[in-house]
Copies of this chain bind each other. A is one copy, B any other.
């Protein structure tokens, strides 16, 4: 395995001064509905509102001074863009962020707030990658991929490491899966740092490329998926897939309705704002997708960046 336990522990040590050690919350009402004990690791309360800050921080602070001096670059319209901008700001280096020109203005503003230098491009993958390459050629900036990168995986693993430190008796950890950075990191953390805990990935039915890839044994890219869980649209990364195949027990899928219901329940019972992607593992538990032999279940609550003007239970918001 190319990522060792030492790599994870080094990542945890490296990012510790910069991240929040997020709390773990429980709800007796949710435990009753789930028929077991569920422990929520609240990465919605992480800096920039998502676990992504852990990986970005590990990548940025892994760079040599010479590498770092030229800055970092990524194309992203999501949480990775904000995470990378803030991590770079903390190291005092530039972060070049390529964003599609149709990205929501709230996301543009957030990246700019963290000091990111934004370059807009057309909203296609080709345009994004071309623009990124031009920035690399011009500045020498170092590319930090949002998930397909061992430093990112090691950084994301630290959420599960902390969770297992607090609750070593967990027999299962659930994480949502998009590109697979969080899920592969979580799986490595459980494999190295727990005697018992299995790991299962949770994914929307409407974006089930990880489920299909996992069962086929090769990466099947997603084809224009439509899901409310907009953090989980991407296909599995090349680095992430073999880790997931080796260390993840299963991938389960849930409906859009289940995701919305789980998100709303969590808001109501835990008084915490989470984004749809973060509700996917809870939806799997409440939907009976997780075997009842698992009695103590940890869930990585991936993030809380949600558009308060477009909540899915509002009558005027179309269901995807």
Contact = CB atoms under 8 A, between A and B. Distances in A.
Interface of A: 23, 44-45, 49, 264, 267-268, 271-274, 304, 308-309, 311, 313-316
A35 B167 CA distance: 38
Contact of A271 (B44, B264, B314, B315): B44
A252 to B, nearest CB: 26
Contacts of A315: 316
25 contacts: A23-B23, A44-B271, A45-B271, A49-B271, A264-B308, A267-B273, A267-B308, A268-B273, A268-B308, A271-B272, A271-B273, A271-B274, A271-B304, A272-B272, A272-B273, A273-B273, A308-B311, A308-B313, A309-B314, A311-B311, A311-B314, A314-B314, A314-B316, A315-B316, A316-B316
Interface of A, secondary structure class, is: loop
Nearest to A303: B271
Contacts of A267: 273, 308
A173 B264 CA distance: 32
Contacts of A304: 271
A87 to B, nearest CB: 15
A313 B268 CA distance: 18
A272 B267 CA distance: 8
A314 B307 CA distance: 12
Nearest to A46: B271
Contacts of A274: 271
Most buried by B among A23, A271, A274, A309: A271
Nearest to A301: B271
A315 to B, nearest CB: 7
Contacts of A314: 309, 311, 314, 316
